[in-house]
Structure 1
């Protein structure tokens, strides 16, 4: 079930961009505010299971459509997607809603955003939860060919080969939409191991999308018919050039330069309570990498690590498990 459209607001932040965001006021002062930041997907609607669950428990909710998604401004300039600038935008939304601090929850591409909020505006972050992609201190200068070689030597296959297609191929948005069933069934795989051969390796995603109807992967059986319809029709209506620009910001080293310029060295290590949840069937955002990251840059005494028998999209695939586990963590803060 989609989130209530009547609970959305729009805010023009100081940079001039519009943010469309879901908001629900905490029922009582003892209940904290939760800020949900999505990654690739159907914008704030990706959090529908978590929003419904925690709102019914009385928590305050802020769930924005990130730039390039949903009802927020479409951005095709990677310079405008610097994490420091997006973090500033998120803080402006909180200020507009008179929220002094909150617990942040990010998934996938939302995790680097809340990482930067925690680094630059620590007073705004009570605690932070990261799903699939962990807390990131700040990205190093990015050489995709070198990264892919290291990944293949270490794990036996490339993990980020799809970045080049999504970020650098001007036809990528059109190819994805023109072959949308194939694209959807790869993004949300029925067999998560298909990511090893069709997602991570260089050229594999584009080759699969252009291979014709006989090559289309099975529909994800872990979605109910209603859930698949919502996810499918919503994503199909998006201008994918906006979401794909986030990958360009990494490949063009916009994010690494931004991190080096905006984040002081003493902010790399996160002292806040941190939750990291990973999917045992995630073959791109590998748990081994995620655990090493949070153990290196987060306070071990305030760190909670949990696994989910799920793929990259645990908040959609096993939402009840994710909700209960997050609630246990919240109640223990």
Structure 2
């Protein structure tokens, strides 16, 4: 199905005690690697609009399904999805291709992994491009504890941690409906309903806004999650407080040249402290919601390629 939409064929790559399903294009551009890291609940296929543009611009494009997703490994232990393992997978992927470092691009949770990778393995990252999720300051309280205090027990990050297995089962039972209802654009603003937002989405009869993608594109995501289930990917959330502890002694400043792309209508707030932690940052805001690179593919490609050109000229 992937190939009907002209996406590279996957190969399974053994890294860091796991196997990753990796989609690779532009090997003729060896020496200019760029690694694209998807978010939740996504798939490497969420970068389908960026791959051809980056190959045409001379990049070797490497797009993994990260652990817990697609046909990549799905370890049973929750701690196998902490930032050390997730960033370790990416470092091992660079080793596999023989690269000292690369440009890393992340969206949503993929951005969280790229921020963490850059803190833990700064020599392996030459440039950072992150979409939607800005750098998260570590703060004095573990992240889930902090969110629970501010946003309550029904907030989905908190719910995933405090009620393990509950959301996983409901999303598994309603995979098509959940993803159909989630992947929307131009969603009208409405007051949050009581309950847990992701469970509400999985049970909602009628989607809001407009579909983000065609039925055949949506089917790629649906079939991947029907096969893999949601637990592996949700386990990323179950490591937030562990990650907070793992990052305790790391220098919190990102020195690499960085591009941050926001969606103006994304529910994730922009950071007013970004430049304090990421001093070499440029910021672009596009008129869209959360699914930036799928909702505004041309504008996203333009923003990324223009910025990369500027960096190359420095």
TM-score, structure 2 as length reference: 0.86
Which residue pairs with 2:18 in the alignment?
17
Q: Secondary structure at the match of 2:210?
A: coil
Match of 1:286 among 269, 272, 283: 269
* 1:111-164 superposed Cα distances (whole Å, 9 cap, x missing partner): 12111221222221111011001134546543646535535xxxxxx7981123
Residue of structure 2 aligned with 1:296, choices 258, 263, 276: 276
* Equivalent residues in 2 for 1:147-296, closer than 5 Å: 147-150=147-150, 161-167=155-161, 168-193=163-188, 197-198=192-193, 202-207=195-200, 209-210=202-203, 213=205, 216-218=206-208, 220-250=210-240, 253-260=241-248, 263-264=249-250, 267-283=251-267, 285-287=268-270, 290=271, 292-296=272-276
The CA deviation at 1:210 is: 4.2
SS at match of 2:135: coil
What is the Cα deviation at residue 246 of structure 1?
1.1
Unmatched runs of 5 consecutive residues or more in structure 1: 152-157
Cα deviation 1:285-330 (Å, max 9, x = unaligned): 112xx3x24222011xx31100111111111111111011100000
User: C-alpha separation between the residues in 1 aligned to 2:141 and 2:181?
Assistant: 29
Q: 1:316 aligns with which of 294, 297, 307?
A: 294
Look up the match of 2:105: 105
Cα pair 1:69 1:242 within 8 Å, conserved: yes
Q: Distance in 2 between matches of 1:295 and 1:52?
A: 31
**Judging changes above 3 Å, is the alpha-carbon distance between structure 1 residues 103 and 209 closer, same or farther for their aligned structure 2 residues?**
closer
Question: In the aligned structure 1, how far is the partner of 2:29 from the partner of 2:175?
Answer: 44
Paired residues in the alignment total 306
Contact kept? 2:34, 2:103, Cα under 8 Å: yes
Gaps of 5+ in 2: none
TM-score (norm 1): 0.82
Q: Deviation above 4 Å: which 4+ runs of structure 1?
A: 137-140, 143-146, 193-196
What displacement does 1:217 show?
2.0
| Alpha-carbon distance in structure 2 between the residues aligned to 1:119 and 1:97 | 22
Change in 2 beyond 3 A, CA 1:248/1:57: same
Structure 1 residues 173 and 127: alpha-carbon distance in aligned structure 2, compared to 1, 3 A threshold = same
Greater Cα shift, 100-109 or 135-144: 135-144
**Correspondence for 2:36:** 36
- Does the residue aligned with 1:332 lie in a helix, a strand or coil? helix
Rounded Cα–Cα distance in structure 2 between residues aligned with 1:89 and 1:187: 28
